[in-house]
Chains A and B, each alone.
Chain A
Amino acid sequence: MTTVRCMLMRGALLVVAASVLAGCSIQPWVKPYERERLADPLMALSRNGLADKHRDHVFDVREASRGATGVQGSGCGCN
């Protein structure tokens, strides 16, 4: 019980610290008008979802690893 209470207290302190940081100290340091470059297709993490999905499928059926690719998909009869 004591361990649970201790963990909750730590969690509460962490969240309070995060709240203070979020609410007071740190402000977004890249303003919306400074993000023009980030909106350029050159800076896109994924430019074509359909093509990325095909490429992901090519690796998915041949490699044991899977997931966290940033490409959304589901079952494919890969076995």
Chain B
Amino acid sequence: MTIKPLTADQKDALQEVLNIAMGQAGDSLARILDAFVALSVPRIRIVEVANLGKTVVEMVGENIDVSAVRQAFYDDLRGEAIVIFGQAGCRDLADLMGYDTDIDADAEHELLLDVTNVLVGAILNGITETLGTELSFTAPSIMAERRPIDTIITPENLPWTHALLLEVNYSLENRAFKSHLLLLMAEDAIESLRKAVNDFMESI
């Protein structure tokens, strides 16, 4: 299946929608961590699912251990949200949230699930508010724990050939914490999103 690329206008509009949503999610994160969160410019691209693992390594960096949490969303737009946390950042998170920095695996799970829920919830709500779409999402679950970055994505488990990849990054000043939030949407969801973006552009 071939995917019609997003037009420059669609990409620009989507980028701005994502920017607003990212700001809201960043503010939520800043509030729970009581820290200043640095935001990146969101990136949007269509990738071949077979190359997704490689793309993720390029985004996050080679040879690092990460934990990752996934959360699925459905209804008007369907896809997967994945938040990737570098291992050093997990210790920062624990510290900022007032845990002992040598937290055990269970406590770390809980922390990553909580933070993911806040980030993904805020970003999806931001998108739906701006685009006027409806979305539901599942509870977050751990998809990788302290594993090398190049092993976390297994494209053979995804029934898609192409995916729209939306990427936003959050980091903290003077801290190692860095998280990458990815939204992945399959072929049919790209068309739904394209329609929602077109409607939005017409409305302004």
Please say whether chains A and B are actual partners in one complex.
no
Chain B residues in the interface with A (C-beta under 8 A): none
Residues of A participating in the B interface, judged by any CB pair closer than 8 Å: none
